[in-house]
Amino acid sequence: MSCFGLKKARPKNKLELSTILASETSFTVNEIEALLCTFKKLSSAIIDDGVIHKAMLSVAYNLRNFIPVTRSEVFDMFDTKRDGVIGFGEFVRSLSIFHPNASEEKKIEFAFRLFDLRQSGYIERQGLKEMVLATLTESDLTVTDDVAEAIVDKTMKEVDSKGDGKIDNEEWRDYVTKNPSLLKIMTLPYLKDITMAFPSFILHSEVED
């Protein structure tokens, strides 16, 4: 059975949907169909209505397997329409930012929004701490809270060139450009061949990639 069975409004057929998303992201048609299997598991966990509700993240699947930030932050970033649910298109387009082939510019922009916790247009201290902890986690490093705070203090001094206690988009881009390793948390190598990473996916593509 094909994984395509969304109940929400969609293009005329599954091939059209896959082709459109493939043209807009770093995924192939086959990979998009594979991702739909995971999406369907999430969306049908509580209510089988073809979308992901925030409550489903804790019941059906832990998206921290994909991205090293909290479930709430992941949901809010993927919910680009701000309607309280995540559609398949939002899921694929947002996940594509973490693809190894996604542009550095997209990763920088997404990371800024991800750590702008209050959506104020700035990364403040708590958001910076989230970034530091995510970076340490990605490197398999565990530190005490005191050490983490010291790292945040040092980083804030380096990034906040204007000295106003917060990091604006310009300061963020300048800092990441000088420290590209920070974007490591924005790249998930296994997304480059997701059909191999998750061989249990059922594929029924009508197009050869």
More confident residue, 80 or 73: 80
pLDDT digits (tens, 9 = 90+) for 162-186: 999 999 999 999 999 998 888 888 8
More confident residue, 75 or 62: 75
More confident residue, 97 or 47: 97
Q: 104-186: what CATH class?
A: mainly alpha
Residue ranges in the chain assigned as alpha helix (H): 14-24, 29-43, 56-59, 71-78, 88-96, 104-115, 125-138, 145-159, 169-178, 194-197
> What pLDDT sits at residue 13?
64
Angle at 12 between CA 11 and CA 17, to 5 degrees: 45
pLDDT digits (tens, 9 = 90+) for 15-66: 778 899 999 999 998 889 888 888 888 788 778 888 888 766 554 434 444 4
pLDDT digits (tens, 9 = 90+) for 145-154: 999 999 999 9
The pLDDT of residue 116 is above 60: yes
**pLDDT, averaged across the chain:** 79
pLDDT digits (tens, 9 = 90+) for 189-208: 888 877 555 544 434 444 44
> What pLDDT sits at residue 112?
92
Residue of 38, 31, 64, 65 whose CA lies nearest to 193: 31
Q: pTM of this prediction?
A: 0.74
> What pLDDT sits at residue 174?
95
> What pLDDT sits at residue 206?
43
Average pLDDT over residues 106-118: 90
CATH 1.10.238.10 boundaries in the chain? 14-100+190-197, 104-186
Task: State the angle between helix axes of 71-78 and 88-96 in degrees (0 to 180), rounded to the nearest 10.
Answer: 110
- Look at phi and psi of residue 82 and say left if phi exceeds 0, alpha if psi is from -120 to 50, else beta: left
Task: State the angle between helix axes of 125-138 and 104-115 in degrees (0 to 180), rounded to the nearest 10.
Answer: 120
Topology (CATH level 3) of domain 14-100+190-197: Recoverin; domain 1 (1.10.238)
- CA 191 → CA 32, 79, 117, 133, 203, distances in Å? 11, 20, 26, 22, 16
